[in-house]
Amino acid sequence: MQHFKSSDVAESASPLSQVVRYGNTVFTAGQVAFDEHGDLVPGGIEEQTRQAFENVSRCLTAAGTSLERVIKVNAFLIDIRGDFTAFNDVYRTIFSPPFPVRTTVQAGLGAGLLVEVEVVAEID
């Protein structure tokens, strides 16, 4: 098992690895809408979703893979009824058919956070 870290993603205060490669599979920790300085990006669900996936992309790059190799997405929304459509609209700009498999659930997140995403990707 190998552990990686992107210097372009803010450090987590939690004791965790940012991204791990195990065999030909890469797992990211949940990523939220903090920029590289640790500041929450301004805006709503669309901006936070873009930033969360940008952080995921940076984690994947650090491990040697990319969003194009994602096979599974877990998404956590604070307001699934209010934000599901907007989340999907941004999601469709990040992934194209055939889409990765995905689970989306409502969850309690930290203050100001609207979305958290984690992925599983393949690597050669």
Share of the chain above pLDDT 70, in %: 98
Q: What is the pLDDT of residue 2?
A: 84
Average pLDDT for residues 59-73, to the nearest whole number?
Answer: 97
Predicted confidence (pLDDT) per residue in 3-53, tens digit? 777 777 777 777 667 899 999 999 999 999 999 999 999 999 999 999 999
| Contacting residues for 117 by C-beta, under 8 A, at least 6 apart | 30, 31, 49, 52, 53, 56, 73, 74, 75, 76
What CATH number labels 2-122?
Answer: 3.30.1330.40
pTM of this structure: 0.94
